[in-house]
Amino acid sequence: MADLHIPRSTSQTPDAPTGARTRGRLLGTGLLVLAALLVANTLLGPVGFAAIDYPIPADGALMSQLVALDIFAVAVVAPLAVFAAVLVWRRHRLGSMVAIAPGVYTAYMVPQYVLGPQYVRYDGNSEAFFPLQLALFVLGWTTALLAWQQVNPAAWAPPGRRERIIGGGLIPLLAIVTFTRYVPAILDASGAHPSAADYQEGPGYFWTIALLDLGVGLPAAIAAAAGVRHGSAWARKIALTLSGWLALVGPAVAAMAISAWLRDVPDASPGQAAAMTALGLLFSVLGVTLLTAERPSAPPSRKNVH
């Protein structure tokens, strides 16, 4: 996304309605606060000052995942939220589109920090930091909602071939294929003796993400695939949201696989880390490509009057 320019958008007039300007200021401010809290959560966590002691094994699979998520939040998600805030304040046409991704990602990931730990089984103090993670969760979905409201497909040009292929085909197809990994995982988790190391340490992590992926992500992918093919405005927004979410979740999952491999977690391997890295990069490339494929509608041409 380095080729994006940040001048004021020409697709909006300087005399925008007061309500739109207010929502823009709220969105930009919310994104900056979101970025600051993501950094604070990481600094307080296991890769920072270790003030947050999550009730999970210190050298297990779940800790390797949390370490990866914390690093990813500081290295990628927080800077993206700041970048989106700048775009929104400059009234760039891509501002609200970019802003959706860090908001949705945060609202998706934070429940793991709260619902996943085994509070009775292991010692820890993460309960004391619930207000911080609650604030992150609320900021995640509120900034995503504010950004969603400001995305206006009616002002976009009709979907081109690239958008139909990526938004209506490749991204939903990859999402659906990715979600099929839950079939063997759920069968294993539902058995008498689950074998996955991370599930044995904390079943709450697995079921929280399975619920969100299969209850929200999968239906969104199916809806996007069906609607974008027909040029539906609502489907274009869903496809954009889905692509932004996957463009961050894909690399985050890759980071967790790499972390598990580096920390010698059972079931981790360099092959798995490489495969997840390739898939994560693919999701990111497709998400950015879809984002930059959106163009404002051309103004009606004026005929010369003689």
Check the CA dihedral 191-192-197-203 and report its sign: positive
Kindly report, residue by residue over 142-155, the tens digit of the pLDDT. 999 999 999 888 77
Residue matched to tokens 């695939």: 225
Q: What is the distance between the alpha carbons of residues 193 and 252, in angstroms, rounded to a whole number?
A: 28
Tens digits of residue pLDDT in 30-61: 999 999 999 999 999 999 999 999 999 988 89
d(CA 273, CA 2): 27
Which residue type, as a one-letter code, is found at position 1?
Answer: M
* 275-288 pLDDT per residue, tens: 999 989 998 998 88
How many secondary structure helices (H) and strands (E) does the chain include?
Answer: 13, 0
Q: Give per-residue pLDDT as tens, 11-29.
A: 444 445 677 788 889 999 9
Distance (Å, rounded) from C-alpha 270 to C-alpha 287? 26
pTM of the model: 0.88
Percent of the chain topping pLDDT 90: 54
Phi, psi of 116 (to 5 degrees): -80, -40
Query: What average pLDDT does this structure show over 105-129?
Result: 94
User: For residue 271, with 0-12 CB atoms within 10 Å meaning exposed, 13-18 middle and 19 or more buried, which class applies?
Assistant: exposed
How is the chain split into domains, by residue range? 18-293
Q: Higher pLDDT residue, 5 or 163? A: 163
Q: How far apart are the first and last CA of the chain?
A: 45
Task: Measure the CA–CA gap between 25 and 33, rounded to whole angstroms.
Answer: 12
Residue 202: alpha-carbon gap to chain centroid: 23
CA angle 17, 30, 64 (to 5 degrees): 150
Rounded Cα gap, residues 28 and 82, in angstroms: 8
Token pair recorded at residue 228 = 């974008």
